[in-house]
């Protein structure tokens, strides 16, 4: 496919994604698919990472996630970070506060590109530490490609929308995300809740890891406590046997203190 054909295809897909959308939804699509983003998608398609963009899966504070397919027809998730001013204001504090990006300065778009890089690197850390997250595939500028969490019927549901057969087991599993994430991935998610966990059958999967900070961040312990309290609040309402916040916090920090 030539450049002109590829670009025409991408424009046609964007027009198709606008069909039957309200004014606000159409504006969101326009914000996501600006010309530079279309060029990034073009590069991902010509390199064989993705073959087609099918339909939106979710809309978040900083970007939209789309169901896409690779060149073998297998599903992947494509997250496109908006480069709008509001997104820039939201993510800037997480980039500037991350020791891995110390000294980074630049315009809005450069900061958003760093955000995509940050989520990719966080997913890598979690994945290598065997914390269940979507497997990261690649990123380019404001686009992140990762494993699709779902099946032929669509994406897996959020934890908040699932009736749990055994809340205690699911609770224990998610608490292990917090402890192992801090100990082994040296990350604290910072926004862990029933909205940022998908349920693939009875297996919880942690998502939306862009804001996660390294364990050496000055505010990491406060973020860790917030994650624990959010998870405890949700599972208390589901009847699970809750572990006290300070007990979980001490468990996560124990290895660090021994070192």
pLDDT along the chain (259 residues), means of 10: 62 60 54 82 91 87 89 95 76 81 79 93 98 98 97 93 97 98 97 97 96 92 96 98 96 69
Identify the structural domains of the chain with CATH numbers, from first to last.
Answer: 3-151 (3.30.200.20), 156-258 (1.10.510.10)
Query: Which pLDDT score is estimated for 35?
Result: 81
Q: Are 149 and 99 in contact (CB under 8 A)?
A: no
Distance CA(239)–CA(95), nearest Å, equals: 37
Residues that are catalytic: 191, 208
- Prediction pTM value: 0.88
Query: Which pLDDT score is estimated for 169?
Result: 98
Query: Which pLDDT score is estimated for 220?
Result: 92
- Residue 53 CA to chain centroid, in angstroms? 18
Query: Which pLDDT score is estimated for 256?
Result: 53
- Give, in degrees to the nearest 5, the angle at Cα 120 between 115 and 42: 80
Closest of 82, 14, 76 to residue 42, by C-alpha: 14
């Amino acid at each position: 496919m030539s450049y002109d054909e590829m670009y025409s295809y991408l424009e046609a897909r964007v027009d198709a994604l606008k069909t039957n959308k309200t004014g606000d939804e159409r504006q969101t699509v326009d914000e996501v698919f600006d010309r530079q983003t279309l060029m990034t998608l073009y590069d991902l398609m010509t390199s064989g990472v993705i073959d087609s963009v099918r339909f939106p899966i979710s809309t978040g504070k900083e970007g939209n996630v789309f169901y896409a397919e690779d060149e073998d027809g297998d599903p992947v998730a494509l997250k496109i970070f908006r480069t709008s001013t509001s997104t820039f204001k939201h993510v800037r504090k997480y980039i500037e506060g991350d020791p891995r990006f110390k000294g980074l300065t630049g315009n809005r778009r450069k900061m958003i590109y760093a955000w995509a890089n940050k989520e990719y690197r966080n997913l890598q850390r979690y994945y290598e530490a065997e914390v269940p997250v979507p497997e990261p595939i690649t990123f380019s500028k404001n686009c992140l490609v990762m494993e699709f969490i779902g099946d032929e019927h669509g994406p897996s549901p959020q934890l908040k929308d699932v009736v749990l057969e055994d809340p205690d087991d699911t609770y224990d599993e998610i608490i292990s995300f917090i402890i192992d994430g801090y100990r082994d991935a040296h990350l604290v998610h910072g926004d862990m809740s029933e909205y940022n966990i998908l349920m693939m059958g009875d297996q919880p999967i942690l998502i939306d890891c862009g804001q996660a900070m390294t364990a050496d961040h000055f505010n990491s312990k406060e973020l860790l406590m917030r994650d624990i309290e959010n998870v405890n609040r949700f599972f208390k309402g589901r009847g699970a046997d809750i572990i006290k916040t300070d007990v979980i916090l001490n468990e996560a920090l124990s290895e660090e203190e021994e070192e």
